[in-house]
């Protein structure tokens, strides 16, 4: 699931709810559907979960929150659904953090990622936990961790069992019933997870993105390595490489779309990388750039690349596309029926600024093509002479199995059409994708260090590769996909 996680421990016995709260507020962009907080005090877990964005907390209600969520250890989660059902009841049931217990052993987890080999894991969990009910893959991660603790009574061995058994992406922070605070990543490190501390070295935290550390005035220490388990004590972080890292495969889509621009990955602010994306596209398509009059961005993920296009081309970046700030739904996350209406309401085009102009739009990616086609239609109605689309992420040809909800070939316009065909479908005069080489150069990593499965068809985990290949063959033969591929029992190995 596409989530944001945050966890924190304080060694002055201070309540940590404010840290968890602001840590999640900083990551609201990672999950709009639900949010949850969990704290630990004197051997007990205390939880609060609800739908929608992390809410504002009024000053006169803070004592109520402290009494509801006491304790000096806490974890939290913001979620959007990439497994399980999408109705409100199911979303509530799948809201994290999750707690599992058996025979006096208890563990609470906040998880970001997606599990591919769900069918055999469901069977295994049912055998060991007779009352097990599957709501989403968070259930599987939490119960697998609990099973490892029950069988080994050792946190390192339990984490190793999870890493070896689960095919997919998982960055996790959690708390055991004895108050042990920990975090770990899958063997490929697909999802982000960093660690930091407060200036007094009394408080230590894990976070999906560095912005949550910034929000709490923490110092960033390190990004967890693939296959690494980290525990925390008064002396600080203890890092344990649980299993060898077969190949790092950090999600490349974080750089183009998912992460906040003021987060840091690979030693760079994300916005700096996105600006370089924009410069690259101008270099790769100089004639198109020369034919433009103005640059327009799809706010807000297209804003940083628009700056790069402006700097490299010299064209004016006309701020004539504006996002309605309080229409907060992410069209990418929404169901098909909701998406068009929300996009139309979310983006406002200033007609007088684009009339009779040849417009270059900067866009982070094209998944279904819905957002871009709506904006192009609005530009045409406003009188734009030409509309070109500069896309920072290379053409997406395959589904993601690791926590971005583009989970079937049929919903991806790039799986069936090339750039020229996509331009016709969305109503553009041209669609210009940044090359894979340009993307890698801007990020500063090699292809083998990233997960680029949605672009190359090469999945870093074996079960995902088998399912993708099996469904691709069926899709090309005319098979109509039913829901998410990795939840289709017909193609599970």
Encode pLDDT of 77-110 as tens digits: 998 776 667 777 778 778 899 999 999 999 999 9
Tokens, residue 187: 């063997």
pLDDT of 178 above 50: yes
What's the CA dihedral at 97, 100, 101, 107 to 10 degrees? -50
pLDDT-derived band at 326, boundaries 50, 70, 90: low
Active-site residue, 3 included: yes
User: 95: Cβ–Cβ under 8 A, 6 or more apart, which residues?
Assistant: 34, 35, 36, 49, 50, 51, 77, 79
Q: How many CA atoms lie within 13 A of 43 on its CB side?
A: 2
Q: How far apart are CA 96 and CA 15, in angstroms?
A: 20
Q: How far apart are CA 277 and CA 326, in angstroms?
A: 28
Are 455 and 304 in contact by the 8 Å Cβ rule? The answer is no
Tokens, residue 138: 């968070």
Does residue 97 have a cis peptide bond before it, meaning omega lies within 30 degrees of 0?
yes
Q: Give the per-residue pLDDT at 271.
A: 97
Q: How far apart are CA 15 and CA 6, in angstroms?
A: 15
Smallest CA-to-CA distance from 189 within 230, 220, 137 is with 230
pLDDT of 338 above 70: no
Q: Give the per-residue pLDDT at 341.
A: 61
pLDDT (mean) for 43-69: 90
pLDDT (mean) for 405-418: 91
Averaged pLDDT of the chain: 91
Three-state SS at 34:
strand
Catalytic residue among 3, 136, 194, 451: 3
Q: Give the per-residue pLDDT at 27.
A: 95
Q: Give the per-residue pLDDT at 88.
A: 77
Q: How far apart are CA 229 and CA 253, in angstroms?
A: 24
pLDDT of 485 above 90: no
pLDDT-derived band at 333, boundaries 50, 70, 90: very low
Tokens, residue 377: 């239609």
Are 205 and 217 in contact by the 8 Å Cβ rule? The answer is no
User: 62: Cβ–Cβ under 8 A, 6 or more apart, which residues?
Assistant: none
**Who has greater pLDDT, 171 or 350?**
171
Determine how many CB atoms are found less than 10 A away from the CB of residue 392: 30
pLDDT (mean) for 239-249: 90
Q: pTM for the full model? A: 0.93
Q: Give the per-residue pLDDT at 94.
A: 81
Residues facing 44 on adjacent strands: 41
pLDDT (mean) for 252-274: 95
Q: Give the per-residue pLDDT at 325.
A: 65
pLDDT-derived band at 212, boundaries 50, 70, 90: very high
Q: Give the per-residue pLDDT at 2.
A: 64
Three-state SS at 253:
helix
Q: Give the per-residue pLDDT at 67.
A: 93
Q: How far apart are CA 7 and CA 331, in angstroms?
A: 28
**Buried-state track 445-483, b at ≥16 Cβ within 10 A, e below 16:** beeebbbbbbbeeebbbebbbbbbebbbebbeeeeebee
**Who has greater pLDDT, 326 or 39?**
39
Tokens, residue 479: 């098979």
Smallest CA-to-CA distance from 468 within 418, 409, 395, 412 is with 409
Are 37 and 69 in contact by the 8 Å Cβ rule? The answer is yes
| Angular region, 377: left φ>0, alpha ψ -120 to 50, beta rest | alpha
Torsion sign, CA atoms 484, 487, 490, 493 = positive
Q: How far apart are CA 345 and CA 309, in angstroms?
A: 26
% of the chain with per-residue pLDDT over 70: 94
pLDDT of 21 above 90: yes
pLDDT of 350 above 80: yes
Q: How far apart are CA 416 and CA 428, in angstroms?
A: 17
% of the chain with per-residue pLDDT over 90: 75
Q: How far apart are CA 50 and CA 78, in angstroms?
A: 10
Q: How far apart are CA 260 and CA 238, in angstroms?
A: 28
Q: Give the per-residue pLDDT at 151.
A: 96
Question: Considering only 85-89, 167-171, 356-360, 374-378, which range has the smallest mean pLDDT?
Answer: 85-89
pLDDT of 336 above 90: no
**Who has greater pLDDT, 213 or 332?**
213
Q: Rg of the Cα trace of the chain?
A: 23
Q: Give the per-residue pLDDT at 439.
A: 98
pLDDT of 114 above 50: yes
pLDDT (mean) for 228-247: 94
Q: How many CA atoms lie within 13 A of 398 on its CB side?
A: 22
């Amino acid at each position: 699931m596409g989530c944001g996680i945050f966890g924190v421990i304080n060694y002055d016995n201070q309540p940590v709810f404010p840290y968890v709260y602001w840590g999640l507020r900083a990551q609201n962009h990672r999950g709009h559907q639900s949010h949850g907080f969990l704290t630990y005090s004197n051997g007990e877990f205390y939880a609060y979960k609800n739908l929608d964005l992390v809410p504002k907390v009024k000053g006169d209600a803070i004592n109520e929150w402290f009494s509801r969520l006491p304790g000096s250890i806490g974890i939290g989660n913001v979620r959007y659904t990439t497994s399980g059902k999408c109705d409100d009841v199911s979303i509530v049931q799948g809201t994290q953090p999750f707690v599992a217990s058996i025979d006096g052993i208890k563990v609470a987890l906040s998880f970001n990622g997606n599990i591919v080999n769900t069918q055999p894991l469901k069977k295994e969990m049912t055998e060991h936990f007779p009352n097990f009910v599957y709501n989403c893959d968070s259930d599987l991660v939490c119960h697998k961790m609990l099973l490892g603790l029950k069988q080994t009574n050792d946190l390192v061995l339990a984490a190793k069992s999870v890493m070896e058994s689960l095919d997919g992406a998982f960055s996790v922070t959690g708390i055991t019933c004895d108050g042990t605070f920990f975090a770990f990543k899958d063997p490929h490190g697909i999802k982000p997870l960093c660690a930091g501390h407060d200036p007094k070295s009394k408080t230590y935290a894990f976070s999906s993105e560095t912005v949550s550390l910034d929000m709490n005035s923490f110092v960033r220490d390190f990004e967890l390595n693939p296959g690494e388990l980290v525990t925390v004590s008064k002396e600080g972080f203890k890092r344990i490489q649980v299993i060898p890292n077969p190949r790092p495969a950090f999600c490349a889509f974080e750089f183009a779309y998912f992460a906040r621009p003021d987060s840091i990955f690979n030693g760079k602010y994300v916005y700096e990388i996105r600006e370089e994306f924009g410069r690259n596209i101008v270099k790769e398509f100089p004639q198109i750039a020369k034919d433009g009059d103005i640059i327009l961005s799809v706010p807000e993920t297209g804003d940083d690349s628009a700056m790069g296009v402006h700097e490299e081309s010299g064209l004016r970046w006309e701020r004539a596309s504006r996002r309605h700030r309080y229409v907060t739904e992410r069209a990418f996350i929404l169901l098909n029926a909701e998406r068009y209406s929300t996009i139309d309401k979310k983006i406002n085009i200033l007609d007088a600024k684009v009339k009779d102009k040849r417009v270059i739009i900067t866009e982070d990616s094209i998944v279904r093509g819905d957002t871009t086609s709506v904006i192009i239609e609005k530009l045409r109605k406003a009188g734009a002479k030409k509309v070109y689309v500069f896309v920072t992420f290379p053409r997406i040809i395959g589904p993601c199995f690791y926590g971005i909800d583009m989970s079937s070939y049929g919903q991806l316009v790039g799986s069936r059409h090339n750039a020229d065909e996509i331009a016709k479908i969305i109503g553009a005069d041209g669609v210009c994708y940044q090359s894979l080489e340009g993307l890698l150069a801007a990020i500063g990593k090699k292809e083998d260090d990233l997960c680029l499965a949605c672009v190359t068809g090469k999945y870093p985990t074996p079960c995902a590769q088998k399912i993708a290949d099996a469904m691709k063959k069926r899709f090309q033969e005319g098979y109509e996909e039913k829901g998410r591929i990795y939840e289709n029992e017909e193609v599970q190995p």
